[in-house]
Amino acid sequence: MISIETTIFNKKFSNCLMNASGVKCMTIEELSNLKNSESGTWITKSCTLSPREGNPSPRYVDLKLGSINSMGLPNLGFEFYLDYVLTEHEMGNDNLFFSIAGLTLENNIKMLTQIENSDFQGLVELNLSCPNIPGKPQTGYDFERTEEVLKKVFSFYTKPLGVKLPPYFDMVHFEMIAEIINKYPIQFVTCINSIGNALYIEDESVVIKPKSGFGGLGGAYVKPTALANVRMFYKLLRKNISIIGCGGVETGRDVFEHILCGASMVQVGTQLMKDDVKIFSKLSSDLKEIMKSKNYTSLSDFKGKLKEL
Ligand code: RRO
């Protein structure tokens, strides 16, 4: 028997696949489709204290090798997603991920205070890396600010929490951010968010409307960057911090590579947009096929065991 079960914090998941926050997880209908799919779990759309329409359209475009988006955090507001995860809790599901992305530190604190005081027993993914809000820098690229956020959060928050990071590209930056994260009781790190502020051109024109066409890049374009981030954080973070890999997952081979680099769970974004939730059964069976061909029976047989020359 080949198992692709995994553990994050003290939670067991029968399958190591889930959606990336933002993809097919904004409405009840989309969340129900994820629930009924063959993913191991799912995460809600990053939310803000108040509902948001997001940026003007076109704001998401499929590209030959991925996608570009400038959604601008459209979401139904914190109360909606808190109600949703609490309803799931009442039905006995405490394995959900709840993504929050306050527009200010104060708003993140307000949302986390309510979660702390609620019956929510799942995992919070604090998004420190949205690239698409005009005038708002990505927190994860400001090391002092990141430390300030974590210090404030962990001054009162006691439930399991992880952070969603932007991609890093410099060895010293990896070390700097890892040093900060290692100081706090963080349970997992999700890497990477889209590569921010890319520019895609067709027929002498940009392809998305917001921010003069600049937007977050996802899909095959970003896989090598995603794998580098998963690998570096696997090496640099405390061993009890799990890595959730995200970026460029189209095939079972891509899932396999994320795990080989050190991921305990793998998120699917662009390809989930393209194929909808049926992608999860395909990725699971393809991953099991690869494992079978290598005589691996569980993820621990190869997780983090990337060979070096
Ligand atoms: O909503 C978005 O524009 C968005 C978010 Br919050 C994010 O974290 N990453 C992304 O590519 N788009």
- Give the pLDDT of residue 150: 98
The answer to whether the CB of 140 is under 6 A from ligand 1 is no
Distance linking the first and last C-alpha atoms of the chain: 32
Q: Find how far residue 110's CA is from the centre of its chain.
A: 22
Please tell me the distance between residue 196's alpha carbon and the centre of ligand 1 in angstroms: 9
What are the domain boundaries of the chain?
6-54+74-195+220-301
Distance CA 17, CA 12 (A): 12
- Give the pLDDT of residue 308: 97
Please tell me the distance between residue 46's alpha carbon and the centre of ligand 1 in angstroms: 8
The answer to whether the CB of 72 is under 6 A from ligand 1 is yes
Minimal-distance CA residue to ligand 1 atom 1: 73
Q: Does domain 6-54+74-195+220-301 have CATH number 3.50.50.60?
A: no
Whether pTM exceeds 0.95:
yes
**Nearest atom, ligand 1, residue 127 CA:** 8
- Give the pLDDT of residue 26: 98
Phi, psi (rounded to 5 degrees) for 290? -65, -45
Per-residue pLDDT reduced to its tens digit, 36-48: 999 999 999 999 9
The answer to whether the CB of 130 is under 6 A from ligand 1 is yes
The answer to whether the CB of 8 is under 6 A from ligand 1 is no
The answer to whether the CB of 139 is under 6 A from ligand 1 is no
Structure tokens at 123: 């995992």
- Give the pLDDT of residue 100: 98
Which of 71, 126, 272 best tests ligand 1's pocket when mutated (most atoms within 8 Å of CB)? 71
Structure tokens at 56: 């003007």
- Give the pLDDT of residue 79: 98
- Give the pLDDT of residue 303: 98
- Give the pLDDT of residue 8: 98
Minimal-distance CA residue to ligand 1 atom 7: 130
Please tell me the distance between residue 298's alpha carbon and the centre of ligand 1 in angstroms: 32
Please tell me the distance between residue 136's alpha carbon and the centre of ligand 1 in angstroms: 12
When the pLDDT of each residue in the chain is averaged and rounded to a whole number, the result is 98
Please tell me the distance between residue 88's alpha carbon and the centre of ligand 1 in angstroms: 24
Residue 96 · residue 90 · CB < 8 Å: no
Residue 4 · residue 41 · CB < 8 Å: no
Structure tokens at 307: 């060979």
Below-50 pLDDT ranges, the chain: none
Strands (E), 101-232: 123-127, 161-164, 188-191, 195-199, 201-202, 205-206, 214-218
Structure tokens at 61: 């475009």
